[in-house]
Structure 1
């Protein structure tokens, strides 16, 4: 009994020391140039689950916990906007069982935001669901609308949950909208016209400064292709997304700052 108490005390001391170290580290980083808009390709949930001998659904669930952890880091650093690749349109090609499990998980987490939106309120975060939501089941669309509505009054930061999303789909939709507007006005369609119709632009997101992909895969997988075609730094981490955290992102932020200072 005494040994358990001592162990818990040491664990608490360790947590407090770690928390203070993290606070100090984030304070140092926030003193330098911080990216306004950071995007994450949250890759590796399934491989993480297999490596831990867990079910795939558990891997995705652990991935949501990692998202909450990373969002807190970004917003504590005063990152204006975070975009995450929550569910690709291409993911609908996975097994019906996995797709159904993901729909359940997405609905559950969106409703959780509606009931306990502490993170959004704490940092004044406006939530945008970016993607072709018509592809979602009705129950998920209802949850998405509710989650967006509760944060509409927030204006300090932006969280783009990109789902179901594909950059090619977003660009095709933007081009069609620009053409419709151009035909109505009898004007030529410009790059600026298309850019103004992108879902991220309509959601008031700033230009993309830093895109991070986890799990060691080095490709963009049809994510924010238009947004990252100019002046966006790309970073790739070997860590599976559910394990991704402060000590993975810090070197990337320091590298961002080094390059920002070099180009100033």
Structure 2
């Protein structure tokens, strides 16, 4: 469709949907569908690659920043549907570390939008407050300027007491960076008890204090800002790797004695890595949706996508993605989940019946007090 035709079509669609009778009817239908969805299984963790804002802007002959603003409006509507339906965790790919390669004008504009929208989302009485959702920023904080960091911290502070749902904003983020951070924290825990002949227990109080100072600006992960004291800590602790300064505070006390068990390298597993990711305390990823028709993950949640994650690639730009695109996906996920659970139950029944048959043939009669039943 020509860009002018697309623009006119979208304007007509928005105008029509904003008419009071149409808007009222649309809301009633949405509420009914969401109510029906809640009667069945609902994904507990949904992730979005919000792709297509720039292309939408080009096609619509509007400024790129306006495309990003429209993308935020689409996000707000989708978040409301998620929380109404019962989704507990929503993770959005807001800004990739690779996006810093874009023009300075666009990067600065995105940072300004982030400051404004984070403030709007977290205000008392706004979306997150209404649904009891806390906001978490997952990513490499040290790459973000101070003004944006302050906006991030305010948003997290304002929503920290909300405990019904979570909004993870990946900003700035790549999955490779997240996995690297997880590996670094695991390696730090796996430091051998001897460091070039020195026992950890003999670390001086000065060294322990330096390590503690390093953590004043580096609480848990690369989603927090690293402190320049990290280098000082690794220098003072003669012969120790710099990773020691990245240890969480609870692993080092003020006398320099680590009082938590050191991870054995042989015990490191997939679960160990999962437990050190930014999403460690979130439920497994059930559903990942990417708009714009592009069929790749683009370095987003590569570890979290597992064999039971549904990945949906939608051929529309993110600002166009609305409830009528999203609800059918939720419905489809619920139907597939029901079918999967039904097949699991049938499989368990068949296994039980086979066991009962074998037991009867061997002369044991009943199994677990129940008669053998023929599977239909």
Q: Sort the TM-score into its range (normalised by shorter chain).
A: over 0.9
Which runs of 5 or more structure 1 residues have no equivalent in the other structure?
1-6
Distance 1:124 1:44 in 2: 29
Q: Please report the RMSD computed on the Cα atoms of aligned residues, expressed in angstroms.
A: 1.7
Alpha-carbon contact 2:122-2:159 (below 8 Å) kept: no
Partner of 1:69: 77
Of 310, 332, 335, the residue aligned with 1:255 is 332
The answer on 1:119 being equivalent to 2:127 is yes
Change (3 A) 1:173 1:59: same
The residue correspondences of 1:93-172 to structure 2 (distance < 5 A) are 93-116=101-124, 118-172=126-180
Deviations 1:210-230 (A, max 9, x none): 000001010000000000033
Partner of 1:243: 320
- Per the TM alignment, residue 116 of structure 1 is displaced from its structure 2 partner at its CA by 4.9
Partner of 2:44: 36
Deviations 1:16-59 (A, max 9, x none): 11111111111111111100000000000001101111010000
Change (3 A) 1:91 1:230: same
The residue correspondences of 1:208-247 to structure 2 (distance < 5 A) are 208-247=285-324
The answer on 1:59 being equivalent to 2:67 is yes
The worse-fitting range, judged by mean Cα deviation, of 113-122 and 140-149 is 113-122
SS in 2 for 1:263: helix
Of 169, 184, 203, the residue aligned with 1:176 is 184
Partner of 1:192: 271
Which one has a bigger Cα radius of gyration? 2
SS in 2 for 1:40: strand
Q: Using structure 2 for the length normalisation, give the TM-score.
A: 0.66
| Larger helix share, 1 or 2 | 1
4+ runs deviating over 6 angstroms = none
The answer on 1:26 being equivalent to 2:103 is no
Distance 1:72 1:171 in 2: 30
- Per the TM alignment, residue 192 of structure 1 is displaced from its structure 2 partner at its CA by 1.7
How many residues matched? 255
Which runs of 5 or more structure 2 residues have no equivalent in the other structure?
1-14, 193-261, 342-376
Alpha-carbon contact 2:135-2:167 (below 8 Å) kept: yes
Distance 2:305 2:32 in 1: 31
SS in 1 for 2:22: helix
Relative CO higher for 1 or 2, CA cutoff 8 Å, sep ≥ 6? 1
Distance 1:151 1:137 in 2: 22
Alpha-carbon contact 2:131-2:164 (below 8 Å) kept: yes
Distance 1:190 1:62 in 2: 42
